[in-house]
Amino acid sequence: MEENIPKELIVRYLSNEANSDEQIQLFDWISLNVENQKRFNEFCEVWNKNYTHPEEFKEQQALYSLNNKIDSLAPIAKKKTNWLKVAALIGILALTATTLFVYSIKSVSSEITYVVKTNPPGQKSQLQLSDGSIVYLNAGSSIELPEQFNDKIREVHLLKGEAFFEVQRDSLRPFIISTGAVQTKVLGTSFNIKYDELTTEVAVRSGLVSVSNNQSAELLTVNEKLTITGNQIIREQANLESILAWRNNTLILDNLNLADAAAKIEMWYGVEISFANSAILDCKIAGKYKNQTLENVLKAIAYATEIEFEIKNKEVKISGKGCH
């Protein structure tokens, strides 16, 4: 593939007007090398700073400004830009307030039948999709999946909880995971997504992943993590050993107080924990427990904190004098 990419193609993508072939062309260009990734992120920064607020949009001014700002960066294409076409696309963006990086499924979704898979606390599962992709669903999580992908799009909805995706590469059908107002899109890669009503966290193990909401768009590479909470976006290096510990059946209690540790234990083992008194709730707990039973984990915690516990079926009662 040529090293240069037309500016019009990037603008079409950011304004949600690129077709499937154009998206694939852009993704392939981005994945060629680190310089292309940096180049694309520079373009996104210009776009996000200037064209995410439709109420401030003035078409001719934006057109002139975008041309100057992008041309001030190193040239990425010798091909002459059709700026009248770009202006029309930006106008569409302003009028419809479309979300950056969102692949529009239009009427495609009506052709797909979805089913919901829910794991209760204490139960994990592995799901194989019709395209060969695999989803590992954590305990207490719920995902909406198509019975069969069609020939235009692959889309799933993580409704709550956490899932690890191993996506089969398909250059004709991008793979999209929706978590509320956030969309994660890939062609073929592996990554972890954790989602609740307030926060979406995406961590990449392999490949390239684009993540977007209605404010901005980011492109993640291996060992990067993005956390989106409302309008706040934090990008950082990912501790994959910790993030993916659940996939290896390892429970990590990372210097948590007993109340927070108990919440993780409840979800991990599918039990309910009660406390005899509040004095023990601030006891600090730290440890890694791989393939351990509930009783063994509680014994280790009891040894470190001098608490006592009692297990009856799916109920656990914890007592003690407290920690100092």
Q: What is the pLDDT of residue 218?
A: 86
Q: What is the mean pLDDT of the chain?
A: 79
Residue from 24, 22, 27 nearest 9 by CA: 22
More confident residue, 88 or 267: 267
Q: Is the pLDDT of residue 66 over 70?
A: no
| Number of residues assigned to the chain | 324
More confident residue, 110 or 316: 316
Q: Which domains does the chain have, with CATH numbers?
A: 7-96 (no CATH), 106-243 (2.60.120.1440), 249-319 (3.55.50.30)
- Express each pLDDT in 88-139 by its tens digit: 333 333 333 223 333 333 344 456 788 999 999 999 999 999 999 999 999 9
Q: What is the pLDDT of residue 221?
A: 87
More confident residue, 129 or 208: 129
Rounded to an integer, the average pLDDT of 215-229 is 89
Q: What is the pLDDT of residue 158?
A: 97
Distance separating the N- and C-terminal Cα atoms of the chain: 64
Of 31-40, 234-243, 265-274, 299-308, the range with the lowest mean pLDDT is 31-40
Q: In Å, how far from its chain's centre is CA 154? A: 16
Burial class (CB in 10 A: 0-12, 13-18, 19+), 278: exposed
Q: What is the pLDDT of residue 87?
A: 38
More confident residue, 323 or 60: 323
Q: Is the pLDDT of residue 215 over 60?
A: yes
Residue from 136, 129, 119, 194 nearest 155 by CA: 129
Q: What is the pLDDT of residue 170?
A: 83
- Give a three-class secondary structure readout of 272-285: EEEECCHHHCCCEE
Rounded to an integer, the average pLDDT of 58-84 is 46
pTM of the model: 0.71
- Express each pLDDT in 29-45 by its tens digit: 876 777 777 777 777 77
Per-position b or e across 198-209, b if 16+ CB within 10 A of its CB: eebbbbbbebbb
Considering Cα of 217, then 76, then 15, then 153, what sign does the dihedral take?
negative
Residue with tokens 């797909």: 112
Q: How far apart are CA 161 and CA 141, in angstroms?
A: 4
Q: Are 190 and 206 in contact (CB under 8 A)?
A: yes
Q: In Å, how far from its chain's centre is CA 62? A: 31
